[in-house]
Amino acid sequence: MLTKDEIRIRDPFILTAQDSKNYYLYGTTDENVWEGQAVGFDAYKSRDLVNWEGPFSVFRPEPNFWANQHYWAPEVYFYHDRYYMFASFKGEGRCRGTQILVSNHPLGPFSPLTEHPITPSNWECLDGTLFIDHNQDPWIIYCREWLQVQDGEIWAQRLTHDFVSIVGEPCFLFKASNANWVVPVRGETEYITDGPFLYQDQKGRLQMLWSSRSRKGYAVGIAVSKSGDICGPWVQEKKPLLDEDGGHAMLFRTFDDELKLAIHSPNRSPIERPVFLSVLEQGGKLVVEK
């Protein structure tokens, strides 16, 4: 058994499995996440969010897999009796993209659903996340990377129900500089977007957690859809939810129905760890308990 303080991971994502009453923890787990040959993804499981079994190898690429670098930010969802992983990959001479993988078990092994990423092939994209709208249609929400567009963007794209292909044109949601708390990551006009995650609050409003750089470091902000639909328009909260060196957030409910925020902190390799914070809704706004 491990405690979470013994698990090095970036971009933590929790799947709560009601059938087994296990929590599954996924994230960026390669020893060197920034350069060199990528290895794959590992996962952990727990019944109490304190003691963890693992690591379990949940994805290792076949020799002909298109990507060999930057295996980042896997998220796993149970949908139509199967487990789907949305993860970011990069290959030599290929744009970074989100690929969808599938398995019959939360601990894999996961296999690519198609031979190519689901995000546009000529866009540098990362951190794809799943959202099911009020019509029960699936969407992928992802970042278009600042390295390509300077002012990082977030887009949404409707998916077919088998997750194999896209429907229609992508929908632009917002860019990083739309939030007044964001500061440039480099120069004066280069801003990061990463880690989008959708949440419907108790009032039925659609909110998005996303990360960028604030004056205090890696931060989590919130945007709210004025229409309640995925294509917005989106309005940024004036202050970040968190701005103290922790980001790439997602929300989950415990088996006791407590709302929790998962982030990694500190944002420095190799000492990043999963952190789970209690969250309350107050007047439709999310508040992290201190």
Angle at 171 between CA 80 and CA 197, to 5 degrees: 55
The tokens of 201 are what? Answer: 């609050």
Residues 61-96 pLDDT 10s: 999 999 999 999 999 999 999 999 999 999 999 999
- The confidence score (pLDDT) of residue 40 equals 98
| Separation of alpha carbons 267 and 125, rounded Å | 21
C-alpha pair distances (Å), 230 with each of 73, 78, 168, 176, 213: 21, 21, 14, 17, 24
Distance CA 254, CA 260 (A): 7
Q: How confident is the model at residue 208 (pLDDT cuts 50, 70, 90)?
A: very high
DSSP 8-state symbol, 73: E
Confidence band (pLDDT; 50, 70, 90) for 27? very high
Provide the pLDDT confidence category of residue 18 given band limits of 50, 70 and 90.
Answer: confident
User: Rounded CA gap, 60 and 276, in Å?
Assistant: 27
Domains of the chain in sequence order: 2-288 (2.115.10.20)
Residue type, 170: P
For 129, counting Cβ atoms within 10 Å of its Cβ (0-12 exposed, 13-18 middle, 19+ buried), the class is buried
Lowest-pLDDT range, 23-32, 186-195, 238-247? 238-247
pTM over 0.95: yes
Given a cut of 80, whether residue 53 has pLDDT beyond it is yes
Edge-to-edge strand list for the sheet holding 206-214 = 194-200, 206-214, 217-225, 234-236
Mean pLDDT score, 176-188? 96
Q: Do residues 201 and 284 touch, judged by C-beta distance below 8 A?
A: yes
Flag whether pLDDT at 224 surpasses 80. yes
Q: What pLDDT is stored for residue 147 in this prediction?
A: 95
Q: Residue 170's pLDDT band (boundaries 50, 70, 90)? A: very high
Q: Which has the higher per-residue pLDDT, 56 or 284?
A: 56
The string of pLDDT tens digits covering residues 123-147 is 999 999 999 999 999 999 999 999 9
By the 8 A CB rule, do 155 and 172 touch? yes
Q: How confident is the model at residue 22 (pLDDT cuts 50, 70, 90)?
A: very high
Place of tokens 């194999």: 164
Read off the pLDDT band of 159 (50, 70, 90).
very high
Confidence at residue 240, expressed as pLDDT on a 0 to 100 scale: 96
